[in-house]
C-alpha cells in the first residue's frame, strides 16, 4: 500500500527522541469490537469531544457498515493492523466530528513534541478539505454543540495541501511547542464552512469524510538540525523511491547514516567515491541522512514514497 506524505515544518534530531508514544492506543487496536454506529469510545483512550458521532471501524465487526476494509465511509485497509477511526471533517451547516485522546502524560511548557497521524479520504463524500488539525487542552472536552465546529483554535492545522487520496494513506506530521499542562488532544476540522477550502471528490454525499489511523506524539528531547551547526547537503530526488543522490565535491570518504523520525539508526554505510546510496529497503516515511568524516558533517532531510 502506498502512503503519501504531508510535511509541516518537521524538525529532525541528531539523536533519538523519547521512545514513549504519548497517545493512548494510537492504532485503535485496543478496543471492544464495535457493534453499532458512533462507538469511538470502544477504543481505549479515545472519545468524542462533542455530541458528534465519529466511528470506530474494525475488521472484527459483524456489521458491514463499520467493518474493515469496506464500510460506510468507503473502502480502505487499516494503515496498520485491523482498526481505524472515521470522522466527518466537513459537512455544510458546520457539522463536524472529532476524535479525542487522553495523553499518557501531561505536556511540559516550552518542550517540543512531534505529532503524526495518517488520513485517507473516504469515497462516500463529494468533498475533500485541507483543514484537519489538532487541538490540545488541559481538560477533557465535552461540548454540547449539536455536532458543530469547536470554537477553539487548534495548535496546528494542515492548510497547505488538500487531502484528496482515497486509495492510499497520507501522513501528516508537525512539530509543536507545548504551552504546558496539555493532557488531551482532539483531531478534526476547526474551521467554519465559510473558511474551509474544499474541492470536489468522488462521492455523492455532500461532506468530506476521513479515516484516521496510527496517531503518535513523541517528545523531542534533543538538539534539532536547525540548532546544530551543520552543512546542508543537496539530496535528490526528494521525495525519492529507491536511490538518493547528493552533490558533494570535497572529501572522498564519509560515513553515511540514515535516521528515522524517532532518531533510530536505520541505515549505515561507508562512502568512498560514490555519490548515491540505495535506500530501497526503507519503508515509506521521513528520514535524516547524515554524511560525516573527521572534518565535516553534512545532512539533508528525505521523504520516501
Q: Is the pLDDT of residue 6 over 70?
A: no
Q: Taking the CA atoms of 59, 203, 37 and 4 in sequence, report the sign of the dihedral they define.
A: positive
The SS3 of residue 129 is: strand
Cell of 2: 502506498
Q: Is the pLDDT of residue 210 over 80?
A: yes
Give the residue from 255, 244, 253 showing the smallest Cα distance to 278: 244
Q: Is the pLDDT of residue 300 over 90?
A: no
Average the pLDDT over 157-183 and give the result: 88
Residue that has been written with the C-alpha cell 455536532 in this structure = 147
The per-residue pLDDT for range 17-26, each reduced to its tens digit, is 446 899 999 9
Average the pLDDT over 59-75 and give the result: 98
Greater pLDDT, 60 or 261: 60
Average the pLDDT over 276-296 and give the result: 87
Cell of 281: 529497503
pTM tops 0.85, yes or no: no
Distance from C-alpha of 179 to C-alpha of 101, rounded to nearest angstrom: 18
Distance from C-alpha of 182 to C-alpha of 190, rounded to nearest angstrom: 18
What pLDDT is attached to residue 222?
Answer: 53
The per-residue pLDDT for range 39-51, each reduced to its tens digit, is 999 999 999 999 9
Find the angle CA(150)-CA(3)-CA(155) to the nearest 5 degrees: 25
Q: Taking the CA atoms of 179, 287, 28 and 25 in sequence, report the sign of the dihedral they define.
A: negative
Amino acid at each position: 500500500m502506498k502512503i503519501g506524505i504531508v510535511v509541516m515544518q518537521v524538525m529532525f534530531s541528531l539523536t533519538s527522541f523519547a521512545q514513549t508514544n504519548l497517545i493512548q492506543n494510537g492504532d485503535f487496536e485496543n478496543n471492544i469490537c464495535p457493534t453499532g454506529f458512533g462507538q469511538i469510545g470502544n477504543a481505549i483512550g479515545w472519545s468524542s469531544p462533542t455530541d458528534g458521532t465519529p466511528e470506530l471501524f474494525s475488521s472484527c465487526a459483524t456489521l458491514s457498515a463499520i467493518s474493515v476494509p469496506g464500510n460506510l465511509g468507503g473502502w480502505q485497509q487499516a494503515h496498520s493492523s485491523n482498526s481505524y477511526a472515521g470522522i466527518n471533517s466537513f459537512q455544510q451547516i458546520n457539522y463536524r466530528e472529532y476524535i479525542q485522546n487522553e495523553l499518557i502524560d501531561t505536556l511540559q511548557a516550552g518542550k517540543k513534541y512531534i505529532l503524526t497521524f495518517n488520513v485517507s479520504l473516504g469515497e462516500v463524500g463529494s468533498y475533500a478539505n485541507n483543514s484537519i488539525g489538532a487541538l490540545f487542552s488541559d481538560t477533557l472536552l465535552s461540548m454540547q454543540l449539536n455536532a458543530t465546529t469547536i470554537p477553539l483554535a487548534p495548535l496546528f492545522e494542515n492548510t497547505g495541501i488538500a487531502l484528496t487520496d482515497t486509495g492510499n494513506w497520507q501522513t501528516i506530521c508537525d512539530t509543536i511547542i507545548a504551552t504546558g499542562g496539555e493532557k488531551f488532544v482532539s483531531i478534526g476540522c476547526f474551521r467554519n464552512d465559510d473558511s474551509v477550502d474544499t474541492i470536489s471528490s468522488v462521492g455523492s454525499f455532500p461532506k468530506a469524510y476521513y479515516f484516521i489511523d496510527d496517531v503518535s506524539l513523541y517528545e523531542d528531547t534533543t538538539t534539532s538540525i536547525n540548532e546544530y551547526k551543520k552543512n546542508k547537503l543537496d539530496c535528490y530526488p526528494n521525495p525519492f523511491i529507491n536511490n538518493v543522490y547528493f552533490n558533494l565535491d570535497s572529501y572522498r570518504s564519509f560515513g553515511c547514516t540514515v535516521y528515522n523520525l524517532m532518531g533510530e539508526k536505520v541505515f549505515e554505510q561507508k562512502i568512498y567515491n560514490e555519490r548515491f546510496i540505495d535506500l530501497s529497503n526503507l519503508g515509506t516515511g521521513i528520514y535524516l541522512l547524515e554524511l560525516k568524516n573527521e572534518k565535516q558533517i553534512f545532512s539533508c532531510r528525505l521523504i520516501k514514497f
